[in-house]
Amino acid sequence: MTISPMPNPLIPGFNPDPSVLRVGDDFYLATSTFEYLPGVPIYHSRDLINWTLISHVATRPGQFQLDGVPTGGSAWAPTIRHHDGLFYVAITDAMGRGTLIFTATDPAGEWSDGLVTNVDGIDPDLVWDEQGNCYITFSGLLMTGPEFGKHLGIQQARIDLTTGQLLEEPRSLWSGTGGMFPEAPHVYHIGDWWYLMIAEGGTERGHSVSIARSKSPEGPWEGCPANPVLTARGTARPIQNTGHGDLVLGPDNEWYMVMLGMRTRGMTRAFSSHGRETFITSVNWVDGWPVVAPVEVDETNSHFDFTADFHKVKEGKFPADFSKEFISIRRTPAQVLTPVAGGLQLTGNGLGMDDPAPAFVGRRQRRFDSRVEVVAEVEGIGGLTLRYDEQSHYDIEVTPYDIVVRARLYEMTKESRHAKPEKLKSIFIQCVDPKGGWEAMATSDLVQLGFVNEIGESAILATFDGRYLSAEVTTSFTGRVYGVYCTQGSVTIRKFSETTSND
């Protein structure tokens, strides 16, 4: 009996490239985080449905290179596995340290500094045979040297996990049915078969999952006659881009697959504001092959209000419940924030949201109809932003003289300046459904930026088209992130809350 309901997105907000692991009755899941820290969240569940964020692999400077790495690089595609009492996360610090192996004895605890391997590729997977040999299987997209960007297909070699060095020349494995970008390989030993499951077709609308089997972890591989076993390409399915899957035996002894997918919006379903999120579906086995159910949407998990109230913060002491869900760009929130009496304070570094490393702290957008409102003291220049990357963001910024509303889209910046109210209670950004006729239906949503004055009156100062803050337009691997930033002076955050937009 398949678990029901299966909330989808399972983990809302950009959480792409999910890898899932079962140890006893516990389940763990890790996702990509690119330029954000803390990096590589570890979620925990006992039922595959309800997940709690328990830790991050990268919580310290140096675990990922980040500085000098292009936005969208760094933490790509973890695989989380367990062997002989040790937890492993294999991952690529793309255009940074390369393919790394992190370990931990307790997934909720501290992870290692990351062992550098001599793998040139992405999407590393680990599996062990009965003799204890560890195989690393990866997508042979060359990330270094003169042949950067050349794709060698799915590659595999035995690896020494104490040195990170390959024990043999990588061999080429089955690389799918001819789709572009064979990647995200996972090797499993299930029953009498070894299975090699990959993604192919690219992580956009052509994405898919294909699988092959063999009597050996090294092959030769026989492709599934029904490949691709999962795809949404060319369909009206509510979840598109499905691919990059990982298999797990559920608590009911039925099989499941987690994978990335996109909730697309607009008349032609062309825009995805949250980017690639984690989804789940059920899997049955027929004649030794997986039959994967289409991914259904059930937004139970993505409609929670969130409030972080920092009024009780003591000087120099982060609140115990300081949410792990805050992320910062290239540095951890604890590196950019200072606990002061009654709030958490950002200090300007002269960099604004057009820069790759501003003083910023934020949360992923998880729901379409969301409104983030921030109560903060701005002593200088700072505000609230909805960010995709440093070239794509909408800001409402408080200055000593006025309020600036800004849309930065690549080489274009549109700004308007507005009088500040006598007493500014809060600033907000909210996403609402488009209104009007045919032309309005084209876009995903509208983004409204405004303030609330001391007597609770709201003013919307600008409305921007949300399609430009989407994975498709920004060609970004991440998703929208609401965040507070400070360019000059200081911004003391008293309260950060997310509720349903009230349009």
Q: What is the DSSP string of 258-284?
A: EEEEEE-BTTTT-B-SS-SEEEEEEEE
Supply the minimum distance, in Å, between the C-beta of residue 30 and ligand 6LW.
13
Position among 17, 389, 390, 498 found at the interface with ligand 6LW (CB under 6 A): 17
Cβ distance to ligand 6LW smaller for residue 200 or 465: 200
Whether 183 sits among the annotated catalytic residues: the reply is yes
**Per-residue string for binding with ligand 6LW, 155-184, x by CB under 6 A?**
----------------------------xx
Q: Tokens 């991050």 correspond to what residue?
A: 56
Q: 416 vs 475, which CB is nearer to ligand 6LW?
A: 475
Which of 76, 368, 468, 482 is the binder for ligand 6LW (CB under 6 A)? 76
Q: Which position among 125, 183, 373, 498 bears the catalytic label?
A: 183
DSSP 394: E
Smaller CB distance to ligand 6LW: residue 244 or 331?
244
Shortest Å distance, C-beta 39 to ligand 6LW: 13
Please, which residue, 74 or 385, has the CB nearer to ligand 6LW? Answer: 74
Query: What residues pair up with 134 in beta bridges, in sequence order?
Result: 128
Nearest residue to ligand 6LW, using CB?
203
Q: Tell which positions 84-103 bind ligand 6LW, by CB under 6 A.
A: none
DSSP state of 24: T
Among 7, 12, 13, 16, binds ligand 6LW (CB under 6 A): 16
Nearest-angstrom CA–CA distance, 424 and 419? 11
Q: Which is nearer to ligand 6LW, 17 or 218 (CB)?
A: 17
Q: Determine, following the binding rule CB under 6 A, whether residue 122 of this chain makes contact with ligand 6LW.
A: yes
CA distance linking residue 4 with residue 2, whole number of Å: 6
77 binds ligand 6LW per the rule CB under 6 A: yes
136 binds ligand 6LW (CB under 6 A): no
Task: Please choose, from the candidates 223, 219, 240, 218, the residue with its C-alpha nearest in 3D space to the C-alpha of residue 231.
Answer: 240
How many residues sit in the footprint of ligand 6LW (CB under 6 A)? 12
Query: Which residues, at least 6 apart from 413, have a Cβ–Cβ distance to it below 8 Å?
Result: 354, 406, 407
210: number of CA atoms within 13 Å, CB side?
26
Residue in 186, 244, 274, 480 binding ligand 6LW, rule: CB under 6 A:
244
477 binds ligand 6LW (CB under 6 A): yes
Give the Cα separation of 111 and 354 in Å (integer). 32
Contact at 8 Å (CB) between 385 and 361?
Answer: no
Beta carbon of residue 16, minimum distance to ligand 6LW (angstroms, whole number): 5
Cβ burial, residue 370 (10 Å; 0-12/13-18/19+):
buried
Minimum Å gap between C-beta 150 and ligand 6LW is 16
Q: Which of 378, 407, 412, 411 is nearest to 395 (CA)?
A: 407
CB-based contacts of 300: which residues, under 8 Å, 6+ apart?
Answer: 5, 7
Q: Examine the residue annotation and report whether 379 is marked as an active-site residue of this protein.
A: no
The whole-angstrom distance between residue 431's C-alpha and the CA centroid of its chain comes to: 20
Say how far apart CA 284 and CA 294 lie, in whole Å.
Answer: 12
Among 35, 93, 120, 123, binds ligand 6LW (CB under 6 A): 123
Q: For residue 84, with 0-12 CB atoms within 10 Å meaning exposed, 13-18 middle and 19 or more buried, which class applies?
A: exposed
Give me the least distance between CB of 175 and ligand 6LW, in Å please. 14
Q: Note whether 14 binds ligand 6LW by CB under 6 A.
A: no
**Parallel, antiparallel, or unpaired for β 36-37 and 328-329?**
antiparallel
Instruction: Find the largest Cα–Cα distance for the chain.
Output: 74
**Which string of x and - marks every residue 27-56 that binds ligand 6LW (by CB under 6 A)?**
-----x------------------------
For residues 194-223, which are near ligand 6LW according to CB under 6 A?
A: 203
User: Which residues have a catalytic role annotated?
Assistant: 17, 183
- Residue numbers at the binding site for ligand 6LW (CB under 6 A): 16-17, 32, 76-77, 122-123, 183-184, 203, 244, 477
